[in-house]
């Protein structure tokens, strides 16, 4: 699976997708381009985009895209905020279909028992 990590996501999140081909927007040289252009480029080379841009599905017609979207909600962009949901992110990226948006909410810390 080919996964693109959006530039707004901590690049160390790549560790969640160890068994996949993963690049960041910056590594691709696509930093700073508009979402529409980014998606047009991404769908040519990637199966899924991982982002924290929760408005992407309202600003872009994601249903017509050739890649899937994994939208992460975390309290901040520190890797410690992503780490507890690494498995959920990887699972979502593996099962997302083209044009589909899967939301992963890591903003609420797990309850202690």
Residue 23 has pLDDT above 90, yes or no: yes
Full residue range of the structural domain in which residue 6 is found: 2-105
- Of the candidates 83, 72, 79, the one whose C-alpha atom is nearest the C-alpha of residue 110 is 83
Determine if the pTM surpasses 0.75: yes
Q: Domain count of the chain?
A: 1
The whole-angstrom separation of Cα 8 and Cα 21 is: 19
The verdict on residue 96 lying in a domain is: yes
The verdict on residue 43 lying in a domain is: yes
The whole-angstrom separation of Cα 90 and Cα 15 is: 10
The pLDDT tens digits of the residues spanning 71-93 come to 999 999 999 999 999 999 999 99
The verdict on residue 28 lying in a domain is: yes
């Amino acid at each position: 699976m080919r996964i693109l990590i959006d530039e707004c996501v901590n690049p160390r999140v790549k560790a969640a997708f160890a068994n996949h081909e993963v690049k960041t927007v910056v590594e691709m040289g696509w930093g700073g381009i508009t979402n529409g252009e980014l998606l047009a480029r991404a769908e040519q080379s990637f199966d899924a985009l991982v982002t924290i841009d929760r408005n992407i599905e309202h600003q872009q017609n994601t249903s017509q895209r050739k890649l899937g979207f994994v939208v992460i909600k975390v309290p901040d962009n520190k890797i410690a905020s992503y780490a507890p949901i690494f498995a959920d992110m990887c699972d979502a990226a593996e099962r997302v279909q083209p044009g589909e948006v899967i939301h992963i909410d890591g903003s609420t810390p797990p309850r202690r028992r």
